């Protein structure tokens, strides 16, 4: 399998509860490397643009407000099959459906406040990495 990069976000519910380190440890334990990282405050405009694919969904407004409610940590994770591996480590969107040992099973509060975002495909990963990071910030 190829070395890939994927975009991860540690979401407001997790940064607020001081869980950044515990979540990064889950990625590292799974063989993913943090190759870029920054803690930022999203505006509702930026969060809305990032999640534009969900614009027509009923949860969109709430999602955008939530993502702008506290700082987030955006990171690029690198490794073998990083896109799928990250989704595995995250667990299902709804923590009630997530497998034991996954980040969402252990830390998520609800389907909305579910602690992490991860790109869902190679195309999403490319778009989402470029959304937050310039080439100069990707040092490997």
Q: Could you give the residue numbers annotated as active site?
A: 117
Closer residue to Mg ion (CB): 106 or 120: 120
Give me the residue label for tokens 């937050």.
Answer: 132
| Partner whose binding site includes residue 19, from ligand UDP, Mg ion, none (CB under 5 to 8 Å by kind) | none
| Partner whose binding site includes residue 112, from Mg ion, ligand UDP, none (CB under 5 to 8 Å by kind) | ligand UDP
Write the binding mask 42 to 81 for ligand UDP: x where contact by CB under 6 A, - elsewhere: ------------x----x---x------------------
Residues 6+ apart with CB under 8 A from 84: none
Q: Which residues bind ligand UDP (CB under 6 A)?
A: 54, 59, 63, 93, 111-112, 114, 117, 120
């Amino acid at each position: 399998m190829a070395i890939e990069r994927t975009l991860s976000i540690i979401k407001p519910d997790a940064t607020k509860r001081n869980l950044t380190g515990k979540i990064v440890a889950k990625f590292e334990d799974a063989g993913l490397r943090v190759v870029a990282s920054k803690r930022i405050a999203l505006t509702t405009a930026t969060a809305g643009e990032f999640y534009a694919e969900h614009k027509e969904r009923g949860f969109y407004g709430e999602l955008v407000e939530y993502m702008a409610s506290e700082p987030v940590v955006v990171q690029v994770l690198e490794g073998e099959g990083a896109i799928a591996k990250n989704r595995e480590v995250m667990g299902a969107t709804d923590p009630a459906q997530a497998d034991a040992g996954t980040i969402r099973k252990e830390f998520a509060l609800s389907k909305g406040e579910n602690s992490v975002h991860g790109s869902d495909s190679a195309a999403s990963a490319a778009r989402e990495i470029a959304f937050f990071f310039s080439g100069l910030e990707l040092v490997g």
